[in-house]
């Protein structure tokens, strides 16, 4: 099994299934297709079905979409709690994952994931306030019900889907409740996330569209 991913410093969609693979002990190889450099878009078109990452390759099967990858892994190893074991909790977890997949557009556009960066006081909080409010309601509510440290008690695919949000909140010093901050700390302490984070810090490539200083220059 092999997963094609983007730069670890920036690629949110790559991080999500990679965390599931690493945390739950799947045996896999990884290959980074850089999101920068001459001709990188053409490389993506040639190497991936949709011109995007991540892509999971398992034999003759290619899966080019994050949630589909996670669902395949859950089906592949039903003995693992990729999603919560309880049916109702599993439904809630999948609903949160779907909301993350389609929502929080303002937060995602104004606060690109950049694990190497530290950008306090750079974001207009009024613009991201609705997204932060929804995060407090959705994630905070799940954490209060489960008791933490993760959204449904143990780490699951729902946490993986929101892990880039934890990174954004830390990078841009966005204000959150103590409940949400404890969850962010738990994400950062997760060994699988630490593996990704350490590798991201060692990268030197720059992706201009995900660097807030370069974004500022083009706005």
**pLDDT score recorded for residue 151:** 98
pTM (predicted TM-score): 0.96
CB distance 63 to 17 below 8 Å: no
For each successive 10 residues of the chain (219 residues), what is the average pLDDT? Answer: 98 98 98 94 96 97 97 98 97 97 96 97 97 97 97 98 98 98 98 98 95 69
Q: Which residues pair with 29 in a beta bridge?
A: 2
The token pair at 16 is 């999500």
Domains of the chain: 2-80 (3.40.30.10), 87-195 (1.20.1050.10)
The rounded distance, in Å, linking the Cα atoms of 124 and 144 is 28
């Amino acid at each position: 099994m092999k997963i094609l991913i983007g730069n670890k410093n920036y690629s949110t969609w790559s991080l999500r299934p990679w965390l599931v693979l690493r945390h739950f002990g799947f045996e896999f190889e990884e290959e980074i297709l850089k999101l920068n450099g001459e001709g990188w878009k053409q490389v993506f078109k040639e190497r991936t079905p949709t011109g995007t990452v991540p892509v999971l390759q398992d034999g003759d099967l290619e899966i080019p979409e994050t949630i589909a990858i996670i669902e395949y892994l859950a089906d592949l190893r039903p003995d693992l709690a990729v999603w919560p074991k309880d049916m109702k909790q599993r439904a809630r977890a999948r609903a949160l994952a779907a909301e993350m997949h389609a929502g929080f557009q303002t937060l995602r556009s104004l606060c690109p994931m950049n694990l190497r960066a530290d950008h306090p006081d750079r974001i207009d909080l009024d613009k991201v306030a609705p997204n932060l409010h929804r995060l407090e309601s959705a994630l905070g509510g799940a954490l209060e019900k489960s008791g933490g440290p993760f959204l449904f008690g143990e780490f699951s695919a729902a946490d993986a889907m929101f892990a880039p949000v934890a990174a954004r909140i830390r990078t841009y010093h966005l204000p959150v409740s103590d409940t949400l901050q404890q969850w962010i700390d738990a994400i950062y302490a997760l060994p699988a996330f630490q593996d990704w984070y350490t590798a991201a810090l060692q990268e030197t490539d720059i992706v201009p569209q995900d660097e807030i200083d370069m974004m500022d220059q083009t706005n």
